[in-house]
Every structure is written in structure tokens, then in C-alpha cells.
Amino acid sequence: MKRILIFTAGFGEGHNTAARNIQDALETVAPDEAHVEIVDLFESCYGRFNGVIRQAYLTAINRTPLLWKGIYSLFDRTTLVEDGVSALARMRRSLDWLLREVQPDAVLCTYPIYNYLIEEIFRDGRRKNFSHITVVTDSITINSFWHRGPSDVFLVPNEETAVTLRAAGVDEARIAVFGFPVQLDFLEAKEIGLGEELGEVPRVLYIINSGKKKALKIVRLLLHHPRWRATVVVGRDRALFEEILRLAKGSEEKLRVLGWTEKIPELLLTHHALISKAGGATVQEAVAARCPMVVTQVVPGQEEGNFELLRRRGAAFYAEKPRQIMEALEELFAAEGRLWKRVRSALAGISRPDASMQIAQFVLDRAAIENAAPESLPGFARMSRDLLSNGAPEPQETAQVLLCDFHIHSTYSDGRLSVGEIVDFYGQRSFDCICITDHIVDQTRFIGRVCQLTGLVLSPDRVGEYFEVLQREKERAWRKYRMILFAGLEFNKDGYRAKSSAHLLGIDLQSPIDSSLSLPEIIAEIRAQEGLSVASHPHKFQSVWGPNTLYLWENQEQFAPLLDAWEIANRDDLFAPIGLKRLPFIANSDFHKPKHIDSWKTVLFCEKEPKAIKECVRLNRNVALTLYRRHRFGSLLRCPDEELLNA
Ligand code: ZN
Ligand code: ZN
């Protein structure tokens, strides 16, 4: 069961309407899948005080629209809202408590102030473990109050509003256009809606929301019109209702009077025109029903956008005085409704009667996505943010676990498999990155010259060929196995004693390097080629397969700053001192024949891409060792059949 909270406020008319309609749609789309609650924290936290604020708001917009415009634009231009958030401490505490108690999968805000409170609550570095969705209920000239607050995504009623958000710097990916969430009843538009002809007797719907005197005047004019029929929705004003009822007595055919009604969608769908003010929900409902509208009042600021939405489509008629309202209707219906038809088809372009259902489906999908993500530890979230702000590289979104072996010998030196066989051998075992590092000796040294005679090291005249073969195999390894193959060399600088002997790996070399150069010179060459220099088996072997090579370790003050990493493990040996010294490490098989595959390997967590792999080793972050084993018990690592291994 998904838990969904919708936060709203009773200011203006659109917020509650949107909240209610989305709730209805969610319960229709997924009756057994979602539990939806609507919460008005202004109501529950401020109680009577809230009533005062609301009354002040309603008084302001009805009596002194210009004053309201001033307040509205003040909100828009200053950071008054953000500063004021601290004063809303009580609401914040309630919201915090609610989020902890309910553990919602999705939070929808149809009133923007909740976004600021949520930002405050999660200032402690916790990650939001719900999908955070803002439903913008105004259009076009929307207050920046809407988009200055944080939200995963903004659902907007139309393309023009999306344009406004984009212009304000909101990322495209965080905006979705579904239409205003109107009541589900509009889905019946096809069944009960009007046809495309005006007919003999146009029907006019008047939703009263102006002063009493003006309302009575309009009703009288409608009543006495020779042709039209009208329906008047009075609302909750009982006295006005009685009075209009008396006026209409005897003419019930011509004028139907309704008090408060839930049937607005049906009325809009069955009338040819609407007289009302440009409230957010009213305009959107008229659009959904494709009902042309004569607007009698536009509250400066927030309602201007609603009116603009109609005006841009030539569907806006503005008339304040009762006489002008009638004239506008006459014009609309003239010549068998030529203008009326044009407006109807213009409204078809923005009519979204199924918006609530679309939004409900979107919310359910988003709730599922967020649910899958575990909540990270509070400390970790803050830590990683600090790391990022200190300029550390951002973790790659495409990072993956990579199995690597950077120390392999082929038949070019003393290995048993050819380069091609190595690629197939490792590729079939699903390695992600390997480096072939045949021995190359320093012929200025006596031992080097002796080794050269054995034919068990890469001879200088074959180095060029070696690089060419590797280049070819690189392409095949990627094509066939999605495995990265690096060309490398192991520089053998052997002396008579362990302490004067060193083996150095050059990983991802682009061209041969003169092996008679000094170690620091070779390291500089490797760096110039953007390769990695790694000390191979730098400490004492426990196994007795080769003479120790301790020169780099003995001279670590000089070499630690120059080298990119040290082998902390080589085949079966672990070199604990490398760890004790906190040196950057990798682990390799020093592969010479198939059975050497059972050995220490490096596991990286980074993007599968040469630069990223080398950077991961250099930074020595997200690097691990693993002891690779054939699948005697079903290996964790990917291992096909193993005949070759017993060779
Ligand atoms: Zn070696
Ligand atoms: Zn080796």
C-alpha cells in the first residue's frame, strides 16, 4: 500500500480543488494500492487564526484588488517567504512529525509554502525518502514563490506555464505538463457534452461570486433575454438564493436557480457559455469543458495568468458591468455562433479533461521509484555533500563493479598463453579490465643481459610488434567481451641482491619505453603517457617462487610520491606492510599460466572506461581486493568451465 500525502491550503480556490481531484483520481486508479490523505496544516495549526488570515485574503481581493496586488508582488520580488519560514516553526514541527509518522511514499504540494518547510526539515542532511511533487495550480504569470522552493518535479497546467518555469531556470527534466487536475466528471465530456453547433436556444451558466447588487442585475438581464436560457449557481448565500428564487418565480423554464452544487462539471459541459471570475479552478474547468467564458473579474497578480491563458487563444471576453456582459454574450452567439465555434475549437487545444488521471498515474509511478531507494544514513548524506562541495569528483552515475587484473605475462616473455589466448581466457571469465605486462629487462645490467639470452623476456626487436598485437587485441577484447585491454610492461631492474632489485609495472602504455632509463625516468615516461606506475611484488614473498625485489620498498621515501600504486597482493602473497603504510594499492595474479587465475585480484567501483579506471586506482577510492577462485562451490565471481585451469 503506497502512502500519499497531499498538502493544501484554503487560500484562493485552486489549491483545495486540485488536491481533492487528485485524491479522487488516485482512489479510482488504484483503490487497493494507495492510501491518500489531504492535509491543510494552516487549518490544523492555526485554527481560528487561519480563518482570520483567510478572511483578510478574501476581503483584500474583493474590496481592494490593488492592495492585494501589492502584497502579491512583494511576495514575488523579495525573499520575505523564505525569511518568514522560521516564523512558521509550529507548522514545520507538525509537518516533520507527520512525515516521520506516516513515512509517505509520495508528498504532493498544491500550495508552495510546504516546499519551504520540507527544505527546512531536511536541512539536517537526511535524504528525503519520498517523491516530492509540486502541483502548480496557477498559470503563466505564476508567482516565483512556486518554483523558488525545492521539489523533485513540478506539474504544471499548460505549456505556457512550463515556459515560465524554464525561463526561471527550472531544469526541463523537473517539469511535466499534464493539465490542471479537474474533476473526474469531465471525463464524460464525450457522452454528455455539447455538439459543435450552437442550436436555437443557447444556454448560459452564471456562477455568482461578485457582490449581491451586481449579481441581481445580471440575473434580471438573463431572465429577460428573449432567446437564451440560463442557470444561476448562487453558492452558500442562503438569502441571495431565496431572493433570486423569488425573481425567477413563474419563469423556471427560462432560469434555473441552484444553491451550492457539486455538479459544476456537468453544468459546464451542458452550457454554451459561462459568466464568472477568473479563478484558477473555474478557468481550468471551463477549459476542460471547452465552455467559452465571459470573465467578470480578474484578481490582479495570481488570476492574471488564468485570464492570459484564455486571451492568448482568442478565448477571453472581459466584461465588468452587467450590460457589457450581455453584449459580450450577444457577440459570442451572433451569426449562428460563428465566434462561439471558433472559441470552442481554440479551447480544444488546451482541454485536458483527463489531467487528474494522468497525474494520479504519474504519482503512483514516482512513489514506486522512490520506494526502491533505501534511505541513506544521515551522516553519510552530509559527508558526501561536503566532499562534493570540496571539489572531489562526483561519483559516476554509470559506476559499476569492475573485476581487474593488471599484471599478466604472455608468450612474448615467460607466459604460457599468447596475447589472443589471454584475451579469450579472461574474457570468458567476464573480467572487465586486464593489462598484459611482459617483462622487459635493462640490458645495461649484467643480469638483464643474461635474462635476455634465455628468451624469456621481451626482446627489444619485438617490442614494436608486441604493441601492435596488443592494439589489435584491444579492439577484439572490447568487441567480443566488453573487456578493456591495456598494453603494459614490467620493467625488471634486477641486481645481485633483493635490496637492489626492482620490478615496476607500466600500465596502459601507448608506446615502448627505453628500459635502460633510470626508475624515476621510466616513471616520468609512464606518467607522460598517462599510464599508471605500480610497484610489483614490492615486499617479501611468503611463497618461494621468485627472488624478492625490495628496492622500491627500501626507497619508499623517494618512490612513494612518484608511484601511482603498490601491489598489496601478488598471486598468493599478501604484503601487509603496504597496508600498514597506507600506500595506494592494487592486487594482481602475476599470471603466467592458467592455474594462476586462482589468485588475488583488484575490484574497482567506477565507470568502465580507461580514464575512469586509472583515476580510480590513483585516487585509491572504491578499490578492493578479492581472492578469485574457480567455482568449486559456485563462485560469486563469474566462472565458466575450467578445463584449461588444470594445465
Ligand atoms: Zn615481476
Ligand atoms: Zn610479473
Ligand nearest to the CA of 546: 1
Ligand nearest to the CA of 535: 1
Per-residue model confidence (pLDDT) at position 86 = 44
Ligand nearest to the CA of 541: 1
User: What CA–CA distance (Å, rounded) separates 78 from 41?
Assistant: 24
User: DSSP E strands: which ranges in 174-324?
Assistant: 175-177, 203-207, 229-233, 255-258, 273-276, 293-295, 316-318
Average pLDDT of the residues in 442-460: 81
Instruction: State in Å: Cα 456 to ligand 2 middle.
Output: 12
Per-residue model confidence (pLDDT) at position 544 = 66
β-pair type (175-177, 203-207): unpaired
User: What CA–CA distance (Å, rounded) separates 195 from 345?
Assistant: 12
Instruction: State in Å: Cα 532 to ligand 2 middle.
Output: 15
Which tens digits make up the pLDDT trace of 131-172?
A: 999 999 888 877 777 888 889 999 999 998 999 999 999 999
Q: Name residue, grid cell 514545520.
A: 92
Instruction: State in Å: Cα 564 to ligand 2 middle.
Output: 17
Average pLDDT of the residues in 247-261: 90
By C-alpha distance, which of 596, 614, 622 is closest to 507?
614
Ligand nearest to the CA of 437: 2
Instruction: State in Å: Cα 494 to ligand 1 middle.
Output: 10
Which tens digits make up the pLDDT trace of 305-322?
A: 888 888 888 888 999 999
Instruction: State in Å: Cα 468 to ligand 1 middle.
Output: 23
Ligand nearest to the CA of 488: 2
By C-alpha distance, which of 552, 522, 432 is closest to 482?
432
Query: How does DSSP assign 105-145, residue by residue?
Result: SEEEESSTHHHHHHHHHGGGSPPP-SEEEEE--S-SS--TH
Instruction: State in Å: Cα 492 to ligand 2 middle.
Output: 9
Instruction: State in Å: Cα 150 to ligand 2 middle.
Output: 55
Decide: residue 112, CB within 10 A, 0-12 exposed, 13-18 middle, 19+ buried: buried
Per-residue model confidence (pLDDT) at position 374 = 37
CA-based R_g, the chain, Å: 38
Instruction: State in Å: Cα 615 to ligand 1 middle.
Output: 24
User: What CA–CA distance (Å, rounded) separates 261 from 179?
Assistant: 24
Per-residue model confidence (pLDDT) at position 92 = 79
Average pLDDT of the residues in 42-66: 53
Instruction: State in Å: Cα 539 to ligand 1 middle.
Output: 12
Instruction: State in Å: Cα 503 to ligand 2 middle.
Output: 8
* Banded pLDDT at 265 (limits 50, 70, 90): very high
Structural domains of the chain, with CATH: 2-182+355-366 (3.40.50.2000), 188-348 (3.40.50.2000), 400-633 (3.20.20.140)
User: What CA–CA distance (Å, rounded) separates 647 from 645?
Assistant: 5
Instruction: State in Å: Cα 439 to ligand 2 middle.
Output: 7
Q: Give the Cβ contact number of residue 314 at 10 Å.
A: 11
Instruction: State in Å: Cα 403 to ligand 2 middle.
Output: 19
Which tens digits make up the pLDDT trace of 360-377?
A: 999 998 886 544 433 333
Instruction: State in Å: Cα 517 to ligand 2 middle.
Output: 19
Instruction: State in Å: Cα 419 to ligand 2 middle.
Output: 15
Instruction: State in Å: Cα 493 to ligand 1 middle.
Output: 10
Which tens digits make up the pLDDT trace of 65-120?
A: 554 455 455 444 444 444 444 446 677 777 888 888 778 889 999 988 888 888 88
Query: How does DSSP assign 386-416, residue by residue?
Result: HHHHTTPPPPPTT-EEEEEEEEE--TTTT-S
pLDDT, mean over the chain:
84
Instruction: State in Å: Cα 437 to ligand 1 middle.
Output: 9
Per-residue model confidence (pLDDT) at position 358 = 95
User: What CA–CA distance (Å, rounded) separates 279 from 131?
Assistant: 29
User: What CA–CA distance (Å, rounded) separates 112 from 129?
Assistant: 19
Instruction: State in Å: Cα 450 to ligand 1 middle.
Output: 16
Per-residue model confidence (pLDDT) at position 56 = 52
By C-alpha distance, which of 312, 351, 355 is closest to 141?
312
User: What CA–CA distance (Å, rounded) separates 611 from 621?
Assistant: 14
Per-residue model confidence (pLDDT) at position 456 = 84
Percent of the chain with pLDDT over 70: 85
Reduced DSSP (H G I as helix, E B as strand, rest coil) percent helix, strand, coil of the chain, to 5: 45, 20, 35
Percent of the chain with pLDDT over 90: 54
Task: List residues, by chain if needed, whose CB lies under 5 Å from ion ligand 1.
Answer: 503, 536
Average pLDDT of the residues in 3-14: 83
Which tens digits make up the pLDDT trace of 21-40?
A: 999 999 998 888 888 888 88
Average pLDDT of the residues in 435-451: 87
**DSSP H helices in 496-593:** 519-528, 551-554, 556-559, 576-580
User: What CA–CA distance (Å, rounded) separates 585 from 108?
Assistant: 48
Ligand nearest to the CA of 436: 2
Which tens digits make up the pLDDT trace of 581-621?
A: 999 999 999 999 999 999 999 999 999 999 999 999 999 99
Ligand nearest to the CA of 489: 2
Q: Give the Cβ contact number of residue 40 at 10 Å.
A: 19
> Phi/psi at 177 (nearest 5 deg)?
-105, 115
* Banded pLDDT at 515 (limits 50, 70, 90): very high
Instruction: State in Å: Cα 481 to ligand 1 middle.
Output: 27
Per-residue model confidence (pLDDT) at position 315 = 85
Per-residue model confidence (pLDDT) at position 594 = 93
Which tens digits make up the pLDDT trace of 393-440?
A: 444 457 889 999 999 999 999 999 999 999 999 998 889 999 999 999
Instruction: State in Å: Cα 440 to ligand 2 middle.
Output: 10
User: What CA–CA distance (Å, rounded) separates 601 from 603?
Assistant: 7
Instruction: State in Å: Cα 536 to ligand 2 middle.
Output: 7
Instruction: State in Å: Cα 473 to ligand 1 middle.
Output: 23
556-592 as b/e, with b when 16 or more CB fall inside 10 Å?
A: beebbebbbbbbbbbbbbbbeebeeeebbbbbbbbbb
